[in-house]
């Protein structure tokens, strides 16, 4: 099995990159459409609210990508699972080392880089196409994803792909906790679970700590202490690096304005209405629709009670008809 996978990777390394990117985009779009269809059928069957259903589909799909992408990047940087759960300055993420490859413009000899680039490019390209179709391109979240897409593309062609991958992994650290918190809220609303509601608060607090460590402390310090210009660089290489550095700065700025932590701070500083001072609004940017039922069990009991009441009424009517 492993020899077959190795042969596939070797074959992919020899194939021109553009056809592979197009193929990866089509495959990602197919899997996303299939996933959405199957999940819609499942959620309809268990009577999940339509409004919550759309959020749940998005959260689960993003979690799947974050986990797969993180594992691929961690393997390439010889890291561990702790790199996904600890702040950037604690783990094995070395942005300065990867930025040095961008400045030297020398090819990084790491196996699987091309395959990882194709996978990520396919995902981001599919996300762009669906965003244009669904008309969600006006949101800050879409802009943040497109900036990361551009960073991945530029760092690959600048021969320092792991620099872009490491920035993506830093983004995954806080995004993972954010989406897990969302998942706890959505499932907790459906099952009426107080335990999941408590977990969602805990994951959100952990997300805020990781987000602050990455985008308020680590990334600004790294960008301010690492100069982009090197006198030994060629003009074209220098232009690529300046654009890449500018995109990283733009990504940090957009992440700052788009993040749940910023929404929470803004809600309390600007004296927003009470409806905007809750965890659901901080995470989703909107208040979810009110539930029609408290839980699946209570819904089943209520439907059973209604059927029994109707049957009892029919029996009473028949008795009245017979007596008359």
198 and 169 in a common domain: yes
Which string of DSSP letters, residue by residue, matches 167-214? HHHHHHHHHHHHHHHHHHHHHHHHHT-HHHHHHHHHHHHHHHHHHIII
242 and 300 in a common domain: no
188 and 76 in a common domain: yes
To the nearest 10°, the Cα dihedral for 101, 105, 109, 113?
Answer: 90
The pLDDT value recorded for residue 316 is: 64
| Tally of structural domains, the chain | 2
The pLDDT value recorded for residue 31 is: 94
The pLDDT value recorded for residue 2 is: 42
* Angle at 145 (CA atoms; ends 144, 149), nearest 5 degrees: 120
* Residue 101 vs residue 60, higher pLDDT: 60
160 and 63 in a common domain: yes
300 and 205 in a common domain: no
The pLDDT value recorded for residue 8 is: 59
**pLDDT of 268 strictly over 60:** yes
Q: What percent of the chain has pLDDT over 90?
A: 34
The pLDDT value recorded for residue 254 is: 93
Q: What percent of the chain has pLDDT over 70?
A: 77
Of 172, 167, 183, 173, nearest to 59 by C-alpha is 183
107-138: pLDDT as tens digits: 666 667 888 899 999 999 999 999 998 888 88
310 and 167 in a common domain: no
| Six-digit token string for 10 | 């070797």
Which among 48-57, 117-126, 234-243 has the top mean pLDDT? 117-126
> What is the pTM (predicted TM-score) of this model?
0.81
* Residue 316 vs residue 231, higher pLDDT: 316
147-183: pLDDT as tens digits: 999 999 988 888 888 889 999 999 999 999 999 999 9
**pLDDT of 66 strictly over 90:** yes
Domain that holds residue 203: 2-292
Task: Let me know how long the chain is.
Answer: 324
**pLDDT of 239 strictly over 70:** no
199 and 69 in a common domain: yes
The pLDDT value recorded for residue 240 is: 73
266 and 242 in a common domain: yes
| Six-digit token string for 20 | 């592979």
**pLDDT of 7 strictly over 80:** no
132 and 110 in a common domain: yes
Cα–Cα dist 100/96, whole Å: 6
Tell me which residue has tokens 């920035």: 167
65 and 93 in a common domain: yes
195 and 155 in a common domain: yes
| Six-digit token string for 200 | 């969602």
Tell me which residue has tokens 């390209």: 125
224 and 88 in a common domain: yes
Instruction: Report the mean per-residue pLDDT for the chain.
Output: 81
């Amino acid at each position: 099995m492993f020899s077959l996978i190795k042969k596939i990777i070797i074959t992919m390394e020899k194939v021109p990159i553009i056809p592979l990117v197009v193929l990866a985009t089509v495959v990602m779009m197919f899997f996303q459409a299939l996933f959405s269809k199957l999940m819609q059928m499942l959620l309809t069957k268990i009577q999940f609210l339509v409004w919550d259903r759309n959020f749940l589909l998005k959260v689960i799909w993003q979690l799947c990508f974050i986990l797969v992408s993180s594992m691929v990047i961690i393997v390439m940087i010889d890291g561990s699972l702790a790199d996904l759960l600890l702040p950037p300055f604690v783990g094995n993420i070395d942005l300065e080392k990867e930025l040095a490859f961008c400045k030297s413009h020398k090819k990084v000899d790491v196996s699987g880089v091309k395959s990882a680039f194709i996978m990520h490019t396919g995902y981001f390209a599919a996300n762009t196409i669906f965003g244009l179709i669904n008309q969600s391109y006006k949101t800050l979240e879409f802009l943040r994803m497109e900036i990361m897409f551009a960073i991945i593309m530029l760092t690959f062609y600048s021969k320092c792909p792991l620099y872009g991958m490491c920035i993506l992994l830093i983004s995954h650290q806080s995004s993972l906790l954010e989406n897990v918190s969302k998942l706890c809220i959505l499932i907790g609303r459906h099952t009426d679970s107080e335990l999941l509601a408590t977990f969602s608060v805990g994951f959100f607090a952990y997300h805020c700590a990781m987000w602050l460590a990455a985008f308020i402390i680590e990334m600004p310090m790294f960008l301010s202490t690492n100069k982009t210009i090197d006198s030994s660089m060629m003009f074209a290489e220098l232009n690529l690096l300046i654009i890449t550095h500018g995109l990283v700065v733009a990504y940090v700025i957009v992440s700052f304005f788009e993040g749940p932590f910023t929404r929470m701070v803004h809600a309390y500083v600007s004296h927003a209405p009470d409806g905007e001072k809750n965890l659901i609004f901080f995470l989703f940017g909107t208040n979810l629709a009110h539930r029609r039922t408290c839980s699946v069990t209570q819904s089943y009991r209520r439907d059973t009670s209604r059927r029994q009441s109707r049957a009892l009424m029919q029996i009473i009517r028949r008795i009245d008809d017979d007596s008359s």
